[in-house]
Structure 1
Amino acid sequence: MPYQHILVAVDLTEECDPVIQRARDLSVSNGAKLSLVHIVEPMAMAFGGDVPMDLSQLQQQQFDQAKERLEKLIVKYPELTRENSHLSYGQPRQEIHHLAKEQACDLVVVGSHGRHGLALLLGSTANDLLHGAHCDTLAVRLKRAE
């Protein structure tokens, strides 16, 4: 069965281009709708949750920068629009699963560095996405810069 709606989850770095291109190729070959999502993680998660300072201003700056990068991707990839590009705040696994289910996506495409542990195969976000996924998940192997 061809895919109907593909969600590509990106980190908004230069490395996300091959992931978007793979998702775009799949959407064209399947005649599927293409949507994009980036998740801004709470800064407190990076510090284990207990932070003795207010990070709200830094968190807002991070969100604003993500919004700017997302706008650049929308310009670069015409099939992406503001309506099918999503910027969320939270834990990537939960937010991507929620959006994929809400949008009735049947494939999630994510990049994978594959660096450590089970991540030797998938990468931490890609590995996280596989657990509890209600649809197919494709991990696009990213090449390391030489």
Structure 2
Amino acid sequence: MSQYNKVLVAIDLTEEAPQVLDKAIEICKAHSAELMLVHVVEPVGYAYGGDIPMDLTELQDQLDAAAREQLQKYGATYQIDDGNQIVTVGRPESEIHRLAEERNADLVVVGSHGRRGIQLLLGSTANGVLHGAKCDVLAVRIN
């Protein structure tokens, strides 16, 4: 088994996030690795197709602030340093790849619902992270 020094765990801030975090923390303890907690907020215009002719900056700022607040709660609960709690805006797969490279992560941990067939082809974030990552990726199956 590889020795991991930096583990980036990407969560979606749902009630399922602790399952993914627990697995990442287990790995970090086993390897004495540093844990980085990441949440990616999708751009509001992207989520709505980008065709809305109005300024969505305030809504985007509110989503970003809410994500930061929730991530800080997870950080406090799981004792993750503030500097390793990252909220960013963009496409989840791209941002996770970028952050993993910038932060020299050896392992990315993401949640997966274990979808198959057409659902998997149509946009599983875990699948997107797996294809294109330059480090190991662990998809934690969500129950």
**Do the structures match in fold with TM over 0.5?**
yes
AA partner of residue 82 (structure 1): D
Query: Unaligned stretches of 5+ in structure 2?
Result: none
- In the alignment of these two chains, the number of paired residues is 141
User: Quick check: 2:72–2:85 contact (8 Å CA) kept in 1?
Assistant: no
Identical counterparts, % of pairs:
51
Query: Unaligned stretches of 5+ in structure 1?
Result: none
Shift of 1:114: 2.8
SS in 2 for 1:73: helix
- TM-score, length basis structure 1: 0.90
SS in 2 for 1:6: strand
1:1-146 mapped onto 2 (5 Å cutoff): 1-78=2-79, 80-115=80-115, 117=117, 119-120=119-120, 124-143=124-143
In the TM superposition, structure 1's runs of 4+ consecutive aligned residues that sit over 2 Å from their partners are 114-121
- TM-score, length basis structure 2: 0.92
Shift of 1:51: 1.3
Q: For 1:22 and 1:108, locate their aligned partners in 2 and report how far apart those are by CA, in whole Å.
A: 11
Q: Give the aligned CA root-mean-square deviation in angstroms.
A: 1.6
AA partner of residue 4 (structure 1): N
